[in-house]
Every structure is written in C-alpha cells, then in structure tokens.
Amino acid sequence: MRRDPLAHLRSLPYLGVGLGYRKELDASIRANRSSIDCLEIISEHYFDATPDRIARLTSLAEEFPLIPHGIEMSIGTVGEVDPAYLSSLAHVTSIARGAWASDHLSFTRAGGIALGQLTPLVRDCAMAIDIARKAQAVQDRLGVPFLLENVSYYVNFTSELTEAEFIAEIMSRCTCGMLLDLTNLFLNSRNHGYDPLQFLETIPLDRVVQIHLAGGDSKEHQMGDVLLDLHGAAVYEESFKLLDYVAPRAANLRSVIIERDQNFPEDFGEILADLDRARQIVSQVRRAA
C-alpha cells in the first residue's frame, strides 16, 4: 500500500486563530486569553536566550499552543542551512512544544553578509529543486512539519517560473507544508498586476497548514502607487476576502495568525475584532465540513 505523503500534515492538531506574539502586546494577550487560540513566536528571539527569556517562553507554552516562526534561516542562500542554526531552532521548537515550524521562501544572507531583509529568490527549476531538498532536510532534522512562507517583494525580475509555479514546483519535490501569507499575496498582486485567484489555483492548497493576515490602511503604508508590507494596521479587507476563498479549499489548514508589528492600537479591541472575523470564516468552514 502506497504511503500517504501528506499524512504528517493531515494528523496535525487544529490550533485555531491566534496572534503573532510581540512583547508590547504581552499584557493585552494575557488579559484576553479566552479570545486568542494560539500564538506565533519569532524563533530567533529565543536562540542563546537568557534563563529569564527561556522561562518566559516556557510560561507561554503552558498557556498557549505556540508556533515557532523564523526570519533568519535564509534557505535560499547558496549552500546548506547552517547546522548550528538548525540545532537552535530544534531546541526552541522543543521548548515551545511546536507542532510545526516555519520560515520564509527567501534569503537574508549572501557572501556572509546579513542583508537585513527577506530577499526573493531567482525563480527557476534549479532553485526550486535545491530549496525543496534543503526544506526536506530541515523538516527531517526538526522532526515536525516545516512550512515555507511566500514573501512580499517590490521588484519582480523576469524569471523562468511565476511565483506560484515556483512554489508548486518546490512543493512537488518535498513533503513540507506552506505558510500562506494572504496579505503578501494581496500586496504582490496589486503591486505587480496579477490575479491573486490565479495564484491560488496554481499552488497546491492541500499543503497550506497556516495562514498569515496583516494590514495597512493608512498613507504611511504606501509609497506612491506601491503598497508596503508594514504590518501596522487592521487587516486589509482584501486579505479577508482571500481567506474566504482559501479556507474551504485548504483541507489541511490548522491555524490563522494575525500579524501586528507596529502602530499597536491603544484599544486592543481592534486586534480582537480581526481575530473574531478570521475565526468566524474558519469556523464556518469547519462546521460545514
């Protein structure tokens, strides 16, 4: 009997709708425990951490399901993923009791230099093969599913593959999952003039384990006609519409996370409203199923 290559994704627990943990929101998060199903932590914040910070992570893991999310793996850098980095990630994932871990489909280092940003990759078959191989190795090392996230980008070079084709090619060559950032998809589709639904029809939605939503409705989130990815306001209406489309089509969706990195509202109710709306969309799909 042929083994189900996605069995490890289908068996993941449903964690619900949660929030990216930021220390500025700590008091509000703990005060609204019943309204937040889970938290996503930045993995690197706990690498080589002080005992106090590890104790804080352990405390969070006792209160919430935690999802480790990295920003510095740089899986697109030439060569193998740093073994020391992977050891630290595995340690943090263990302490956090993470059911899965994730990072970005990008590179943040080149020639030993930190670039300070999530830089998009050359989208060709050779790169897809290399990324899939490394992602599979990361997943095998962690012992839990590893997810790759689509990133936002402002310059779109002519490539062998579209972004959606590139993602589909990677997923066809490994058993990893996807963290689908619907706000990044909305921003890219608007900035580069393509149909987000065609993107969603091209990628394998059965690989989507987690979704990110973020927003930015004020003028500071634009530079001329370009929308910027700043995570500094309530979730875009367009992102919620994409969630409406994706949720019933992503059979292995296990969590939706709201990201807020700046311009934290005085009224935490603004964030709770985004959480509630996302929960209603996902809950409706789960009830129907």
Largest CA distance in the chain: 57
Region for 118 from its dihedrals, namely left if φ exceeds 0, alpha if ψ lies in -120 to 50, beta otherwise: beta
Mean per-residue pLDDT over the chain, rounded: 93
CB contact at 8 A, 15 and 67: yes
CB contact at 8 A, 122 and 77: no
CB contact at 8 A, 41 and 60: yes
Q: Are strands 113-119 and 208-213 parallel, antiparallel or unpaired?
A: unpaired
**Range 92-102 average pLDDT:** 98
pLDDT for the residue 176? 98
pLDDT for the residue 120? 85
Share of the chain above pLDDT 70, in %: 94
Instruction: Sketch the domain layout of the chain as residue ranges.
Output: 7-288
Architecture per CATH, domain 7-288, reads as Alpha-Beta Barrel (3.20)
| Positive or negative: CA dihedral 197, 202, 206, 207 | negative
The more confidently predicted of residues 177 and 119 is: 177
- Asked whether the whole model's pTM tops 0.75, one would answer yes
**Range 24-47 average pLDDT:** 97
Q: Nearest to residue 124, comparing CAs of 178, 165, 154?
A: 165
| Structure-block tokens of residue 19 | 């929030």
Asked if the model's pLDDT at residue 1 lies above 60, the reply is no
Weakest mean pLDDT among 74-88, 104-118, 204-218? 104-118
Asked if the model's pLDDT at residue 218 lies above 70, the reply is no
pLDDT for the residue 243? 98
